Amino acid sequence: MVQKVVGIIGGMGPLATVDLMKKVILHTPATKDQDHIHIIADNFSQIPDRTTAILGKGVDPCPYMIQSAQRLEKAGADFLVIACNTAHFFFESVKKSVHIPILHMPVETAKFLQENHFKKVGLLATDGTINTKLYQHSCQNYDIEVIDPDMVMQKEVMDGIYAIKGGKSAKGFMSLSTVANNLIEAGAEAIIAGCTEIPLVLKSSEEMVVIDPTEILAKTIIKTASETDKSIQLV
């Protein structure tokens, strides 16, 4: 069976891109190298910060993301994914710039939550993702309530995310786990790790279910790449 080729719009951040690739590899039922999916990754770390741009304080990353998408299409990708939650704010513009489909990580996560009967979840994400309501709207379409951190907790989340980006994983874990526990106490049945850096330090435990959108996306990539029909369902 000939598999489809996946292109990863990456570099947002570099570790998150590698994490997605690793999860695709680990979840692929392969017995030899040739069984693995053909992945083309554009680790384009020069894409400007998504959160600052959404908040009106930085350079628009969309033209850079479009460059990456078109580069991957020319390289032979059959479909694309975006290795960054916040970057999905620019999803429609990027999708219109290419002739191949793009999987949508927040929508795939909402589908997973519904399939596993979650009704109320907490969200840890960047200011950009929170403000654009990427997960809130996606989950609402599947009758799932999302609890956001308050302003004080959200500052703690951002401190944790940028600590991870800066290589300070222990500091990031302390900040994020504190907020996650507060959301669980507020009634969340699980925590969406809605920034691709968060699952690098925050894992499920007996006290907390952590939903990793990157892992969900990785499994969707495997399923999509293995489908014999060249058409891919769009959101």
At 29-46, the pLDDT tens digits run 999 999 999 999 999 999
The per-residue pLDDT for 165 is: 85
Write the CATH number for 17: 3.40.50.1860
Residues 17, 59 within the same domain: yes
Residues 182, 199 within the same domain: yes
Domain coverage including residue 209: 106-214
In this structure, is residue 52 part of a structural domain?
yes
In this structure, is residue 234 part of a structural domain?
no
Residues 113, 208 within the same domain: yes
Residues 88, 135 within the same domain: no
Residues 111, 210 within the same domain: yes
The per-residue pLDDT for 168 is: 94
62 is annotated as an active-site residue: no
> What distance in Å separates the CA atoms of residue 210 and residue 180, rounded to the nearest whole number?
9
> What distance in Å separates the CA atoms of residue 127 and residue 47, rounded to the nearest whole number?
18
The per-residue pLDDT for 229 is: 56
Identified catalytic residue from 84, 144, 147, 210: 84
Residues 142, 71 within the same domain: no
Identified catalytic residue from 195, 202, 210, 218: 195
Residues 78, 112 within the same domain: no
Residues 23, 117 within the same domain: no
Residues 117, 206 within the same domain: yes
Query: Which stretches of the chain score pLDDT less than 50?
Result: none
Residues 61, 127 within the same domain: no
In this structure, is residue 34 part of a structural domain?
yes
Write the secondary structure of 128-178 as one string of H (helix), E (strand) and C (coil): HHHHHCHHHHHHHCCCCEEECCCHHHHHHHHHHHHHHHCCCHHHHHHHHHH
Residues 111, 61 within the same domain: no
Residues 111, 204 within the same domain: yes
The per-residue pLDDT for 1 is: 61
The per-residue pLDDT for 183 is: 97
Domain count, the chain: 2
